[in-house]
């Protein structure tokens, strides 16, 4: 057999087979390298997420499924962008307890005039005056009142008169609130508390974004609150009225809200409401409620109750 014929018959098919095998190996290596690169990219994203509190790791779909007002939240503060942000702290945080979610809004600290200024000046009470300057650091406050479903998740009972998962919990005393907060902190390993009066009022006024409304978010109470004229003497689901400048709901109307402070008269000689002028063993509540007239829903209005008082118009929101 001639060499040329041997090459054509045996070597050329062998070389072709070797080239095909080599091509298959190269393609396999390329596919493996590409997959490894994608895995590395995904792992880096997961690593970034580990620097955030776990309660913040929600997708828009899971937020819609778990939050009663998810659509309005997504429109209000662009939750999709917020939740994918690599920056911390975030402008808000979402927490979950026993499957129940609640949202805390971050309030940038600032200086404001606390107390009655121009709003319904002829109807203010003496304990709302004089207006005085207060400076606050950053803090967080509940987007809404504490709901009955959250109370039940933490406490295992429901003291409310008007029953509904997304209704604000009511008929809770200041002392009851302290027990709830202690259990919540044990579950979340955070330091939730009742807001100070100054924190409550600053947030209700819209913080540094304030437009100086009479009520929280409007000069027309019907736009932002459930009160005597429109409540039918019942509480209503959280977040069904318009929010204020900070995205906070129901700070005028629905239920009055306990604050941490004991009753005190404003002292014009100091620039803070956290003073030592406490004279009664009672605690402040704010914001008006389902039985209140318009003047009782103003952002500066304040009333005190004994710490064991329980009414179906008394609830609370959290601070952090």
**Predicted confidence (pLDDT) per residue in 207-223, tens digit:** 999 999 999 999 999 99
Cross-strand partners of 193: 319
Reported as a single tens digit per residue, the pLDDT across 102-161 is 999 999 999 999 998 765 556 788 888 888 899 999 999 999 999 999 999 999 999 999
Between 7 and 115, residue with greater pLDDT: 115
How confident is the model at residue 41, as a pLDDT?
36
Task: Report the alpha-carbon distance of residue 281 to residue 148 in Å, rounded.
Answer: 28
Q: How high is the pLDDT of residue 265?
A: 83
Instruction: Encode 55-116 in three state secondary structure.
Output: HHCCCHHHHHHHCCCHHHHHHHHCHHHHHHCCCCCCCEEEEEECCEEEEEEEECCEEEEECC
pLDDT number for residue 276 = 52
pLDDT single digits (tens) 255-264: 999 999 998 8
At residue 264, the pLDDT reads: 83
The number of beta carbons lying within 10 Å of the beta carbon of residue 287 is: 30
DSSP-derived letter for residue 288 is: -
pLDDT for the residue 39: 40
- pLDDT in the model for residue 267: 63
**pLDDT of 99 over the 90 cut:** yes
- Degrees to nearest 5, angle at CA 253 with 252 and 256: 95
CATH fold group of domain 54-315: 3.90.1580
Q: Could you tell me the residue ranges of all domains in the chain?
A: 1-50, 54-315
């Amino acid at each position: 057999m001639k060499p040329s014929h041997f090459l054509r018959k045996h070597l050329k098919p062998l070389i072709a087979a070797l080239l095909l095998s080599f091509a298959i190996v190269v393609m396999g290596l390329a596919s493996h390298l590409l997959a490894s690169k994608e895995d590395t990219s995904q792992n880096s994203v997961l690593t970034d997420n580990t620097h955030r509190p776990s309660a913040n790791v929600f997708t828009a779909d899971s937020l819609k499924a778990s939050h009663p007002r998810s659509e309005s939240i997504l429109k209000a503060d662009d939750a999709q962008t917020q939740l994918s942000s690599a920056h911390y702290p975030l402008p808000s945080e979402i927490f979950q307890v026993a499957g129940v979610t609640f949202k805390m809004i971050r309030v940038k600290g600032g200086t404001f005039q606390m107390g009655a200024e121009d709003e319904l000046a002829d109807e203010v009470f003496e304990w709302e005056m004089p207006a005085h300057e207060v400076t606050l650091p950053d803090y967080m406050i509940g987007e809404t009142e504490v709901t009955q479903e959250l109370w039940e998740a933490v406490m295992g009972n429901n003291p409310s008169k008007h029953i509904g998962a997304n209704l604000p919990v009511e008929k809770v005393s200041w002392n009851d609130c302290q027990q709830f907060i202690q259990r919540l902190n044990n579950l979340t390993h955070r330091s939730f508390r009742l807001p100070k009066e100054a924190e409550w009022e600053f947030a209700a006024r819209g913080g540094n974004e304030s437009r100086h409304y009479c009520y929280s978010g409007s000069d027309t109470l019907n736009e932002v609150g459930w009160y005597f004229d429109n409540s039918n003497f019942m509480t209503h689901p959280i977040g069904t009225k318009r929010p204020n400048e900070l995205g906070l709901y129901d700070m005028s109307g629905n239920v009055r809200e306990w604050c941490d402070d004991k009753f005190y008269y404003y002292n014009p000689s100091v620039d803070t409401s956290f003073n030592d002028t406490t004279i009664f063993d009672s605690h402040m509540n704010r914001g008006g409620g389902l039985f209140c007239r318009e003047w009782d829903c103003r952002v500066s209005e304040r009333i005190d109750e004994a710490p064991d008082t329980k009414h179906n118009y008394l609830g609370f929101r959290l601070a952090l």
